[in-house]
Amino acid sequence: MTAAVIAKDVSKTFQLRHSFTFRQLMSNRRARNDPSTVVQALEDVSFRVDQGAGVALMGLNGSGKSTLLKLISGVMIPDSGTVHLRGRVAGLIDTGSAMHPELTCRENIYLQASILGMSRAEIASKFDAIVDFSGISERFLDTQVRFLSSGMFSRLGFAIAIHTEPDVFLVDEVLAVGDGQFKKKCRKTLLALREDEGMTLIIVAHEIGLLRKLCTEAIVLESGRLTYRGELAGAELLIGDEADDGEFAALGDPAGSGAH
């Protein structure tokens, strides 16, 4: 199999600065105390993801999952180590990052799609498909998005992202949007893209049921270190205790808990 993503000894630290003003900085310097705390978000993480794989990125809150996704999408640069990937990456880290409530649906589609890397011709040709997928009726197209329900907003964001046809698709907890029917549609589309088109899928989600449907493999992070890489079932056993504590179950949709 060809590799889609290769991470090698990736480390990332954050400096949390507590002082912003010059006065604070100066008084800190005089008192010789370091005003910043260094947080190790990721430490020597190495893994390889094959093309067409579905990988669940698991771990507790603050274990470094989102940071890892940001490193893969290129938004952040690792302190040391390297990330390589093949093809176009769509960072569906948040649906509709560029979408603005004051703009109309039409304007939002053009803006968000261009941000995700589509050309104008590409957007124009996929416009109808995007609208169709989002399920927003034609007569709302020129209405400001703020008049739509928040569910509609997220649906539109997801519809745009999925039409960028990425080779590597990063998903961060966005599947918790929309109603059950729409979630099912998203899941089906993602699965079809992965199985038929060879799209690589890396998902951060806390719903075991959803992960079971979309992924076969898992990566588990624990305080910034990679502690498990292999079959999804193994990861489930590993963090099963936390799941039973309710953290994972809390986000579960009806379909997800049904599969439990």
SS3 (DSSP) at 199: coil
Q: How far is CA 229 from CA 45, 121, 152, 239, 257, in A?
A: 11, 41, 36, 13, 24
By CB under 8 A, the count of residues binding other proteins is 45
Question: Residue written as tokens 């290129």?
Answer: 74
Question: Residue written as tokens 């990937």?
Answer: 85
Q: Which is nearer to other proteins, 15 or 27 (CB)?
A: 15
> Please, what is the minimum distance in Å from the beta carbon of residue 88 to other proteins?
7
18/35 Cα distance (integer angstroms): 6
15/36 Cα distance (integer angstroms): 6
Q: Which is nearer to other proteins, 103 or 176 (CB)?
A: 103
Window 228-257: residues binding other proteins (CB under 8 A): 229-230
179/253 Cα distance (integer angstroms): 10
Binding map of other proteins across residues 132-171, x = CB under 8 A, - = no contact: -----------------------------------x----
**Residue selected from 60, 115, 148, 191 as contacting other proteins according to rule CB under 8 A:** 115
238/206 Cα distance (integer angstroms): 14
SS3 (DSSP) at 16: strand
Q: Which is nearer to other proteins, 175 or 248 (CB)?
A: 175
**Residue selected from 11, 28, 35, 87 as contacting other proteins according to rule CB under 8 A:** 87
**Residue selected from 28, 100, 127, 148 as contacting other proteins according to rule CB under 8 A:** 100
Q: Which two tokens stand for residue 240?
A: 């099963």
Q: Which is nearer to other proteins, 92 or 136 (CB)?
A: 92
Q: Which is nearer to other proteins, 73 or 134 (CB)?
A: 73
Q: What single DSSP character describes residue 97?
A: S
CB 45 within 8 A of CB 81: yes
> Please, what is the minimum distance in Å from the beta carbon of residue 45 to other proteins?
11
225/12 Cα distance (integer angstroms): 11
**Residue selected from 24, 46, 150, 257 as contacting other proteins according to rule CB under 8 A:** 46
Residues engaged in binding other proteins (CB under 8 A)? 3, 6, 8, 14-15, 20, 46-48, 70-77, 82-89, 91, 93-94, 97-98, 100, 102-103, 107, 110-111, 114-116, 118-120, 167, 229-230
